[in-house]
């Protein structure tokens, strides 16, 4: 059960104190308080953990400081959608809104290799009005002998160039808690010219200790990739680990699942799950067509499989696209075969816009038919 308190309630206020005193007397119920400082107001929620089935909602509603009460019957307590639940399905970061109704493209390098490539990539993005990118500094690789990423050494120039080209958010995978400190240090050292979205890769979706650590920091939003060999529900529980530790700025990333049935693609596309994640949870949903398709093959009409996959995700309502580009894919140190060329960026973005427009028309169509059905039934 969640008690949503009146906005801006002060922990020192008498109504808050009375409320906590009352709740603390409930038998076998533990309290977890979550405070979120927004730009305009602070919101406080109290989670009652334990068997709350015998506690009447009306009793809780009448307590001092309580505005609304949500009985959680489903899983995914913090990030899930529950009946009567009007909690937001968006968050703001770096002046951008990330929600279930917005769309951002994060085109960029799978892995940072040279400063020159970072600059070419960011300049191409700036020239097309883009303010987000992906830049891998810490790369989890199948072989220990493969390039592991430049790590903290590349962060200062990546952040400085982001500032120079107006990039506001960089998606960047972390695989160890020390990486968060390194990112923080480099941001501070360069005067925070940009923001970072921490990425948990598919190989770490169930690295629970990493999830807890990343969840405890509230500075950076998190993109959690679906695990490639586990169920959707298991991956959604992983996202809940982040939120239960305090960080609710979580985006859920679909990137295909591993099975021979996906051949000749690298992974089997799972973008039909975009509306499923949006229905079960309040998280914005990202699709990563690059790691799903894995190559630059195209269909007979000349459209790359990767662009078809992107369109499938966007037309189904995806809120973020994470996609590999590279100025010279044959010289990329990671995932060159799936990288799109900078010359292809305008076409890619125009194709995303077509799919987004189609999605918006489909939403309007659904609303129109719902009204017609209602009027016919009335």
Phi-psi domain of 166 (left: phi exceeds 0; alpha: psi -120 through 50; beta: other): left
Q: Which span sits near Mn ion by CB under 5 A: 91-99, 222-230, 303-311, 331-339?
A: 331-339
Q: Any contact of residue 327 with ligand PEP (CB under 6 A)?
A: no
Residue whose tokens read 């995914």: 76
Closer residue to ligand PEP in complex, CB, 130/202: 202
Q: Any contact of residue 201 with ligand PEP (CB under 6 A)?
A: yes
Q: Residue 340: is it exposed, middle or buried by C-beta count within 10 angstroms (0-12/13-18/19+)?
A: buried
Which of 160, 270, 288, 335 contacts Mn ion by CB under 5 A? 335
Q: How far apart are CA 226 and CA 253, in angstroms?
A: 6
CB of 324 to Mn ion, least distance (A): 6
Which of 225, 237, 278, 282 contacts ligand PEP by CB under 6 A? 225
Q: Any contact of residue 110 with ligand PEP (CB under 6 A)?
A: yes
Q: Any contact of residue 333 with Mn ion (CB under 5 A)?
A: no
Q: Any contact of residue 240 with Mn ion (CB under 5 A)?
A: no
Q: How far apart are CA 117 and CA 328, in angstroms?
A: 8
Please say whether the beta carbons of 288 and 281 come within 8 A: no
Closer residue to ligand PEP in complex, CB, 201/284: 201
Contact code string over 99-118 relative to Mn ion, x by CB under 5 A = -----------x--------
Closer residue to ligand PEP in complex, CB, 104/255: 255
Strand order in the sheet with 66-70: 30-37, 42-49, 2-5, 66-70
- Binding site partner of 133, from ligand PEP, Mn ion, none, Cβ cut-off 5-8 A by kind: none
- Binding site partner of 225, from Mn ion, ligand PEP, none, Cβ cut-off 5-8 A by kind: ligand PEP
Q: Using CB under 6 A, which residues numbered 120 to 139 contact ligand PEP?
A: 136
Q: Any contact of residue 202 with ligand PEP (CB under 6 A)?
A: yes
Q: Residue 49: is it exposed, middle or buried by C-beta count within 10 angstroms (0-12/13-18/19+)?
A: middle
CB of 143 to ligand PEP, least distance (A): 14
**Structure-block tokens of residue 19:** 């409320």
Q: What are phi and psi of 52, to 5 degrees?
A: -100, 10
Q: Report which residue's Cβ sits closest to ligand PEP.
A: 201
Q: Any contact of residue 255 with ligand PEP (CB under 6 A)?
A: yes
Q: Any contact of residue 326 with ligand PEP (CB under 6 A)?
A: no
What is the four-CA torsion angle of 69, 75, 79, 83, rounded to 10 degrees?
-40
Residue whose tokens read 């191409």: 124
- Binding site partner of 202, from Mn ion, ligand PEP, none, Cβ cut-off 5-8 A by kind: ligand PEP
Please say whether the beta carbons of 242 and 268 come within 8 A: no
Please say whether the beta carbons of 199 and 173 come within 8 A: yes
Q: Which span sits near Mn ion by CB under 5 A: 178-186, 277-285, 292-300, 330-338?
A: 330-338
Q: How far apart are CA 322 and CA 104, in angstroms?
A: 9
- Binding site partner of 319, from Mn ion, ligand PEP, none, Cβ cut-off 5-8 A by kind: none
Nearest C-alpha neighbor of 110 from the set 168, 153, 149, 71:
149
First to last CA, the chain: 35
Q: Using CB under 6 A, which residues numbered 259 to 318 contact ligand PEP?
A: 288, 291
- Total interface residues for ligand PEP by CB under 6 A: 9
- Binding site partner of 150, from ligand PEP, Mn ion, none, Cβ cut-off 5-8 A by kind: none
Peptide bond into 143 cis (omega under 30): no
Closer residue to Mn ion in complex, CB, 135/196: 135
Residues found near Mn ion in the complex (CB under 5 A):
110, 335
Residues near ligand PEP (CB under 6 A): 110, 136, 173, 201-202, 225, 255, 288, 291
């Amino acid at each position: 059960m969640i008690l949503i308190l009146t906005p801006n309630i002060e922990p020192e206020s008498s109504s808050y104190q009375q409320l906590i005193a009352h709740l603390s007397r409930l038998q076998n119920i533990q309290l977890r308080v979550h405070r979120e400082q927004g730009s305009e107001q602070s919101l406080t929620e109290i989670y009652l953990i334990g068997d709350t089935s015998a506690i009447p909602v009306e009793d809780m509603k009448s307590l001092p400081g309580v505005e609304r009460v949500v009985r959680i019957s489903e899983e995914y307590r913090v990030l899930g959608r529950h009946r009567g639940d009007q909690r937001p399905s968006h968050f703001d970061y770096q002046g951008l809104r990330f929600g279930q109704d917005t769309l951002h493209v994060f085109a960029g390098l799978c892995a940072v290799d040279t400063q020159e490539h970072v600059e070419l990539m960011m300049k191409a993005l700036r020239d097309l009005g883009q303010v987000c990118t992906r830049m891998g500094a810490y790369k989890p690789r199948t072989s220990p002998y493969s390039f592991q990423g430049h790590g903290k050494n590349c962060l200062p120039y990546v952040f400085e160039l982001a500032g120079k080209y107006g990039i506001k958010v960089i998606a960047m995978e972390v695989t160890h808690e020390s990486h968060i400190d390194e990112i923080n240090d480099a941001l501070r050292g360069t005067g925070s010219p940009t923001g970072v979205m921490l990425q948990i890769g598919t190989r770490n979706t169930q690295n629970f200790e990493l999830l807890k650590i990343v969840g405890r920091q509230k500075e950076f939003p998190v993109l959690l990739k679906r695990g490639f060999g586990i169920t959707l529900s298991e991956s959604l529980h992983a996202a809940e680990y982040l939120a239960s530790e305090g960080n609710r700025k979580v985006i859920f990333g679909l990137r295909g699942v591993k099975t021979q049935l996906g051949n000749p693609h690298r992974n089997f596309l799972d973008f039909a799950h975009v509306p499923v994640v949006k229905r079960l949870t309040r998280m914005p949903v990202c699709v990563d067509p690059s790691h799903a398709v894995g190559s630059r093959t195209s269909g007979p009409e000349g459209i790359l499989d990767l662009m078809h996959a992107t369109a499938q995700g966007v037309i189904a309502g995806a809120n973020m696209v994470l996609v590999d580009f590279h100025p010279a894919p044959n010289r990329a140190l990671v995932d060159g075969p799936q990288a799109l060329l900078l010359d292809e960026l305008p076409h890619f973005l125009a194709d995303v816009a077509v799919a987004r427009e189609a999605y918006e028309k489909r939403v309007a169509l659904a609303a129109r038919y719902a009204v017609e059905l209602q009027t016919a039934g009335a």
